[in-house]
Structure 1
Amino acid sequence: MPPIEILDLPLNDWHRAQGARMVEFAGYHMPIQYEGIMAEHSWTRTNAGLFDVSHMGQLMLSGDGAAQALERLVPGDISALGEGRMRYSLLLAEDGGILDDMMVTNTPMGLYLVVNGAVKHEDMGYLRSELPDEVTINYMDDRALLALQGPKAVDALARLIPRAAGLYFMEADSFIWGEHPLWISRSGYTGEDGFEISVPADIVQQLTEALCEQPEVKPIGLGARDSLRLEAGLPLYGHDLDPAIDPVQGDLAFAISKTRRAEGGFCGCERILAALTDGADKKRVGFAVEGRMPVREGAPIFAEGNQVGVMTSGGFAPSVGAPIAMGYVATAHSQAGTELEAEVRGKRIAVTVAKMPFIAHNYHRRGKAQ
């Protein structure tokens, strides 16, 4: 069997020219760090970090009834989404298991979906098999995706595209940079204020260089992206979420809209709505870790000698100054403050269930006092 080809991002040569250390992730060569994960993490928390997330899948669903058709596969109220508004949602299997998490935006062109890179082709296959023929699925592989994240992201972006500063969290619009069309949302996956920018792949290097010329901006790799999202309490698909997990177990019940709770009509709704009423058997929670040794994915979790869960993410949190982790435990052990143990290389380490996020979110919400 021939080896699987690892693809290059449109910015591959640029990343290497900046001294990035490249790794394989989601089928692509991607930068894991430039000057170091700790420094890049801290820079993003205080300034603005630029992430290349072009491995993500950008899809456009169009055609009559697209929103109603998608609602059978997700628990969100897509039909009520106003133009230029976006919603975090979950692509569900027939039994209610999570096939992916994604962002859905109502645009004048249709429903714009951003899905995870590692499963984007599976997502597209599933959507094609489940949506009616009247709904067209366009894989926008001619576009790159950048994420500009951090408290000074708005200052940097506003110099290039002033009108983008008028967006609020979970809002999006089309913009022109020079002669080039961009689609920009005020969103991201670091817990900080920031933007995601969909840009034609053939001019993404020009935009990247223009952004990195701003004094607030540095390129940031996958390593800091992971530590930032972990501090923000945000799950990573394929680690913290998978098809065996439903939205209630995954602590993502907020993604189930009020109308869908009342009306159902989505994949696995019987299982999911029952879990909302009766409680789930296990729950995704955060953990504070005693000492300095990180607790990684796969570490078993114990209560008085009995295994009650497993870690799904973990590492050192630069903004916290200590190791943190995320994982699943039996619901009886999921209350904040519960003291448990995790096993690392045969040694038991004390962990305590902690409220997430570990670092307060810093989103630019409409109506929030600034």
Structure 2
Amino acid sequence: MRYLIAILGVLVVFGLTYAASSDRRSIRYRPLFIMIVLQALLAFALLNTSVGEFLIGGFASTFEKLLSYAGEGVNFVFGGLINQGQTTFFLSVLLPIIFISALIGILQYTKILPFIIKYIGLVLSKINGMGKLESYNAVASAILGQSEVFISVKKQIGMLPKHRLYTLCASAMSTVSMSIVGAYMQMINPKYVVTALVLNLFGGFIIASILNPYSVSKEEDILEVHDEEKQSFFEMLGEYIMDGFKVAVVVAAMLVGFVALIALINGIFTGIFGISFQQLLGYVFAPFAFVMGVPWKEAVEAGSIMATKMVSNEFVAMLDLGKHTALSVRTTGIVSIFLVSFANFSSIGIIAGAVKGLHEKQGNVVARFGLKLLYGATMVSVLSATVAGLFL
């Protein structure tokens, strides 16, 4: 039964994506088949094998160590503000982003990250049938983040046609920044975070290949990565530390605003209709939760968490998931994988703003297809969760 539902889920995703495709005749099915098989194999390897367990364990323990180092800095500055043995979300989950951001800056400065991103992207371009730029951008998005990634390819932003620009933006919304992966791992099982990161990378190409199919000629298939102006090591380090701090503060502000607004809306709906806004959305999203592999008796509850992510952000939804302790392990895993992406309404503004800051005309183009971006990124999350559900 599990396999039948998974097949149904994949068919639903493909059907909904195909219905919104900009050019159905240009869809190339061979790369699609290869990538969906790769997704299934990777999900199986990560979730059901000792090799996957070892890799995830190594990844999680590395971040655990890094977070403990970050904690030294946080405790030095804020240690006296909390009681012994207690923590606050801002101090323990968000502020370590500053340290991770600094590490990313060091790896960028020493040219280690650009080398890794470029050559992984080149390998992926052979698999997905897309251009080198699209493949580079997908890998870079998963490490640098949904706004910073565009700086690295800003030489080409102004020259890109609408369809290629869409794919770049879709990749940025379908992945997450490595600087906040540590924060996710403190809220949900690291196993699900790592699995989602890998599956979303291929899922982004799969959905974009259906929703926005095109071919890139050899003349167009050029990758020009922008080298930032040379800074001293400590100039760079200070810049990345401040960037990490800005991310932490922005996420904190978004959480304060969204959590409070959702509480207000829930209160209004409960008072008038006897059902909270989140519960109402749960019924809307329940069918999607079911085709992802969630048992029907838990589908409304799971759908509510999924909807929370879309209307607010993944942090709010992960906090909400932590309150639903009665959910089965399988449902928790499927929903967790769905949550690990930037597919929400606020990301439309972030991505459009990032592109507009580099090229105003292209920023306006992005804003016009913003809802299609969110639609595609949500389909990526549903597909990743459905494939993973086969092995949970």
- Regarding TM over 0.5, the answer is no
TM-score by length of 1: 0.28
Q: Higher RCO, 1 or 2 (CA under 8 Å, sep at least 6)?
A: 2
| Richer in strand (by share) | 1
